[in-house]
């Protein structure tokens, strides 16, 4: 199929021979179609030769603005530690003869805002896209085309070859993300940044932060300071909690934006609110504040839905959050409000939806919010009841797919997993991969789905290593489910691509779960 023609053979001799003389490392394979790329691109054509990045390589930009310069700097920072090269970044409106060329074009409509085209010859590596965002996604592909050692943080003495050919690639779904629960256990700003880097590597574009729950309130709200002073003090198990100041939060939002990832903040209500109720007695129907909670039960707390102060509170919180949030969404939770009567829950959600919209944001809620009267701009996150997702669609709302039995990153892989829960399912790496968003239910069709989100709830996890163990390798499969069309996805083929990622993950120091379902390749 991808036979090496006589011409490419000659090229191989001309180009690889000098390399063999000057270095003792083996050249990388030069068949672009054989390189493991996750998520799998739409089309890949190989031309059987190689481009080599050297200390002389220049990164050229077709247009110089803050965003393109940012992508070029990101690429240069990515390549610098392992290569040791200091890349010059230069403007070149016309295509240069050699080097790495990041070009904005408007020639290819099918690429949309996130798509890219990568053309590699022996002389030039040309990445083109309609938007800087597409260039950024393309850089993630480029990264996987280089030897795994490119991820090393110290200089590696080897050849930096990329197989020649052409890739055209764009996402299936607009919304591809993960959720991190920073409430049950608090994770530092640095951990969140690493989380962002890890999902960015697989072209995800959303990070939903679960910022408040029974066990902790994690975002500074200046008009209600006790939420963090008191409500952020602890976490599951009784350890020190923590919270993000608004400055920290802005830094996270900015860091994510530089990687074309939208932060979606969530304040869960009216249930899952013990930390808030414990911080302000007036939010309780009894007028008395409960103790802080460090267990893992759910469904026991509720805001007092018929007190006016409750809506003042919600409006203040959403107002500050909306100001901190450049993206269009505020997530208001709405799940498992088991101690809120349905006749109180419905008007509460209706009113909260109005508040969110009054701050020019769109509401997202867990699937129970379908019991209320949803605005057509509201998005429903399906996690528990398919019937709720169907009700959402019947109300004209779009759906984010996070069915717990398929997409929850906190589910154990199997009964021996050292972390996680199993109330929804055990989710092995193959189970996590082998499903299609638009085929779970006859009513939840492609048109009604904006994408996928894989939530990582943190009842059982405390450190970045713990996060990585539950996250990897499943997150790579979820990224592919969101990015690649279903007709290109097949477990038997995917597991080989995944297996080939193991040295890369090791060099990235990702503490992944070494599932026996995957024939891991260790160098
Ligand atoms: C449920 C619950 C969360 C738990 C999680 C654990 C939703 C939307 N509400 O998902 O509070 O942390 O399960 O898997």
- Ligand 1 touching residue 382 (CB < 6 A): no
pLDDT band at 348 (very low <50, low <70, confident <90, very high): very high
Write down the pLDDT at residue 24: 40
Write down the pLDDT at residue 5: 41
| pLDDT at residue 9 is higher than 60 | no
296 CA: nearest ligand 1 atom: 12
Residue 177 host element (H or E) = strand 175-181
* Separation of alpha carbons 181 and 213, rounded Å: 9
Quote the ligand 1 centre to 404 CA distance (angstroms): 8
**CA 107 distance to own-chain centroid:** 28
Is residue 381 classed as helix, strand or coil in its secondary structure? strand
* Separation of alpha carbons 159 and 52, rounded Å: 7
383 CA: nearest ligand 1 atom: 8
Ordered by where they begin, the domains of the chain are 27-169 (3.30.379.10), 175-507 (3.20.20.80)
Beta bridge partners of 264: 208
Q: How far apart, in Å, do the first and last CA atoms of the chain sit?
A: 25
Average pLDDT across the chain, whole number: 94
| pLDDT at residue 4 is higher than 70 | no
* Separation of alpha carbons 219 and 209, rounded Å: 10
Nearest CA residue ID for atom 11, ligand 1: 298
Quote the ligand 1 centre to 66 CA distance (angstroms): 40
Write down the pLDDT at residue 29: 56
As a whole-number percent, the residues of the chain with pLDDT over 90 amount to 93
Write down the pLDDT at residue 10: 37
- Pick the catalytic residue: 336, 373, 462, 493? 336
| pLDDT at residue 96 is higher than 70 | yes
pLDDT in tens, 467-484: 999 999 999 999 999 999
Quote the ligand 1 centre to 458 CA distance (angstroms): 9
pLDDT band at 522 (very low <50, low <70, confident <90, very high): confident
* Separation of alpha carbons 116 and 127, rounded Å: 7
* Separation of alpha carbons 210 and 184, rounded Å: 9
- The answer to whether the CB of 421 falls within 8 A of the CB of 410 is yes
* Separation of alpha carbons 181 and 275, rounded Å: 14
The predicted model gives 300-322 an average pLDDT of: 98
Q: Give the β-pairing of 88-91 and 124-129.
A: unpaired
* Separation of alpha carbons 216 and 228, rounded Å: 8
Backbone angles phi, psi at 424, to 5 degrees: -95, -35
pLDDT in tens, 372-385: 999 999 999 999 99
Measured CA to CA in angstroms, residue 87 lies from 54, 56, 72 at distances of 9, 8, 10
298 CA: nearest ligand 1 atom: 11
411 CA: nearest ligand 1 atom: 14
Residue 430 host element (H or E) = helix 429-433
Nearest CA residue ID for atom 5, ligand 1: 457
Q: In this structure, is the dihedral angle defined by the CA atoms of residues 37, 41, 44 and 49, taken in order, positive or negative?
A: negative
373 labelled catalytic: no
Contacts of 521 by beta carbon, 8 Å cutoff, 6+ apart: 499, 500, 502, 503
Q: Give the β-pairing of 206-213 and 216-217.
A: antiparallel
* Separation of alpha carbons 386 and 158, rounded Å: 52
Quote the ligand 1 centre to 253 CA distance (angstroms): 24
Quote the ligand 1 centre to 164 CA distance (angstroms): 46
Between 21 and 265, where is the model more confident? 265
Write down the pLDDT at residue 366: 98
Write down the pLDDT at residue 480: 98
Average the pLDDT over each of 18-27, 65-74, 392-401, 502-511 and give the range with the smallest value.
18-27
- Ligand 1 touching residue 266 (CB < 6 A): no
* Separation of alpha carbons 42 and 167, rounded Å: 8
Q: Sheet harboring 124-129: ordered strands across?
A: 43-53, 160-169, 116-120, 124-129, 99-104, 58-61, 88-91
Nearest CA residue ID for atom 13, ligand 1: 457
- Ligand 1 touching residue 336 (CB < 6 A): yes
- Ligand 1 touching residue 422 (CB < 6 A): no
pLDDT in tens, 486-509: 999 999 999 999 999 999 999 999
Quote the ligand 1 centre to 272 CA distance (angstroms): 10
- Ligand 1 touching residue 410 (CB < 6 A): yes
- The answer to whether the CB of 199 falls within 8 A of the CB of 479 is yes
* Separation of alpha carbons 274 and 88, rounded Å: 53
Residue 518: other Cβ atoms inside 10 A: 22
Residue 506 host element (H or E) = helix 502-507
Q: In this structure, is the dihedral angle defined by the CA atoms of residues 312, 318, 324 and 328, taken in order, positive or negative?
A: negative
Quote the ligand 1 centre to 208 CA distance (angstroms): 14
Quote the ligand 1 centre to 457 CA distance (angstroms): 7
- The answer to whether the CB of 189 falls within 8 A of the CB of 243 is no
Write down the pLDDT at residue 53: 98
pLDDT band at 523 (very low <50, low <70, confident <90, very high): low
For 131, left (φ over 0), alpha (ψ -120 to 50), or beta?
A: beta
pLDDT in tens, 165-220: 999 999 999 999 999 999 999 999 999 999 999 999 999 999 999 999 999 999 99
The H-assigned helical ranges of 259-337 are: 274-279, 308-324
* Separation of alpha carbons 364 and 80, rounded Å: 40
pLDDT in tens, 107-166: 778 999 999 999 999 999 999 999 999 999 999 999 999 999 999 999 999 999 999 999
* Separation of alpha carbons 493 and 145, rounded Å: 18
- The answer to whether the CB of 493 falls within 8 A of the CB of 449 is no
| pLDDT at residue 346 is higher than 70 | yes
DSSP label at residue 370: G
- Quick one: angle between helices 342-358 and 308-324, nearest 10? 40
DSSP label at residue 488: G
* Separation of alpha carbons 454 and 474, rounded Å: 9
181 CA: nearest ligand 1 atom: 12
Pocket test for ligand 1, best of 179, 335, 421, 470 (most atoms within 8 A of CB): 335
Q: Give the β-pairing of 206-213 and 329-333.
A: unpaired
- Ligand 1 touching residue 366 (CB < 6 A): yes
Pocket test for ligand 1, best of 211, 267, 298 (most atoms within 8 A of CB): 298
Maximum distance among all Cα pairs of the chain, rounded to whole angstroms: 84
Nearest to 219 by CA among 193, 182, 272, 184: 182
Verify cis geometry, omega within 30 degrees of 0, for the bond prior to 39: yes
Nearest CA residue ID for atom 9, ligand 1: 335
Q: DSSP per residue over 204-220, as a string? A: --EEEEEEEETTEE-B-
213 CA: nearest ligand 1 atom: 11
At 182, list the tokens: 């920073």
* Separation of alpha carbons 450 and 470, rounded Å: 24
Polymer length in residues for the chain: 523
DSSP label at residue 263: E
* Separation of alpha carbons 336 and 333, rounded Å: 9
């Amino acid at each position: 199929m991808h036979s090496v023609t006589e011409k490419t053979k000659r090229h191989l001799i001309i180009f690889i021979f000098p390399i063999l003389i000057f270095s003792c490392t083996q050249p990388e394979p030069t068949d672009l179609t054989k390189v493991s790329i996750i998520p799998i691109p739409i089309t890949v054509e190989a031309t059987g030769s190689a481009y080599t990045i050297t200390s002389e390589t220049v990164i050229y930009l077709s247009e110089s603005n803050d965003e393109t310069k940012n992508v070029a700097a990101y690429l240069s920072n990515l390549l610098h530690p392992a290569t040791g090269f200091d890349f010059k970044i230069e403007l070149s409106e016309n295509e240069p003869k050699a080097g790495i060329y990041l070009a904005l074009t408007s020639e290819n409509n099918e690429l949309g805002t996130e798509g890219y085209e990568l053309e590699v010859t022996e002389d030039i590596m040309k990445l083109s896209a309609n938007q800087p965002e597409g260039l950024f996604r393309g850089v993630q592909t480029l990264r996987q085309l280089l030897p795994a050692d490119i991820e090393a943080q110290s200089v590696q003495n080897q050849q930096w070859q990329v197989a020649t050919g052409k890739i055209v690639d764009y996402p299936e779904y607009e919304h591809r993300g993960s959720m991190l629960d920073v409430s049950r256990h608090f994770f530092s700003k640095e951990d969140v940044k690493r989380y962002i880097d890890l999902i960015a590597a697989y072209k995800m574009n959303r990070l939903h932060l679960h910022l408040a729950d029974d066990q902790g309130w994690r975002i500074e709200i200046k008009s209600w300071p006790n939420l963090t002073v008191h409500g952020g003090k602890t976490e599951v198990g009784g350890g020190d909690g923590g919270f993000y100041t608004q400055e920290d939060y802005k830094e996270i939002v900015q860091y994510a934006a530089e990687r074309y990832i939208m932060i979606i903040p969530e304040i869960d209500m009216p249930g899952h609110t013990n930390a808030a109720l414990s911080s302000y007695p007036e939010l309780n129907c009894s007028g008395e504040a409960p103790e802080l909670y460090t267990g893992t039960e759910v469904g026991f707390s509720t805001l007092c839905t018929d007190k006016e102060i409750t809506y003042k509170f919600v409006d203040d919180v959403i107002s500050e959050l909306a100001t901190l949030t450049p993206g269009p969404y505020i997530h208001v939770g709405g799940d498992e409000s088991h101690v809120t009567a349905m006749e109180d829950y419905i008007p509460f959600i209706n009113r909260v939806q109005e508040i969110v919209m009054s701050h020019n944001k769109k509401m997202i809620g867990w699937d129970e919010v379908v019991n209320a009267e949803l605005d057509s701009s509201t998005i429903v996150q399906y996690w528990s009841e398919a019937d709720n997702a169907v009700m959402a669609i019947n109300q004209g709302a779009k759906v984010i797919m996070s069915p717990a039995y398929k997409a929850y990153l906190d589910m154990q892989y199997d009964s021996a997993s050292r972390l996680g829960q199993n109330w929804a399912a055990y989710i092995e790496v193959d189970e996590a991969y082998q499903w299609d968003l638009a085929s779970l239910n006859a009513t939840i069709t492609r048109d009604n789905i904006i994408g996928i989100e894989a939530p990582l709830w943190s009842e059982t996890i405390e450190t970045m290593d713990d996060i990585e163990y539950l996250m990897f390798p499943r997150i790579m499969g979820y990224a592919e489910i969101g990015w690649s069309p279903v007709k290109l996805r097949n477990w038997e083929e995917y597991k080989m691509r995944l297996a080939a990622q193991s040295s890369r993950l090791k060099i990235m120091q990702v503490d992944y779960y070494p599932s026996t379902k995957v024939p891991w390749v260790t160098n």
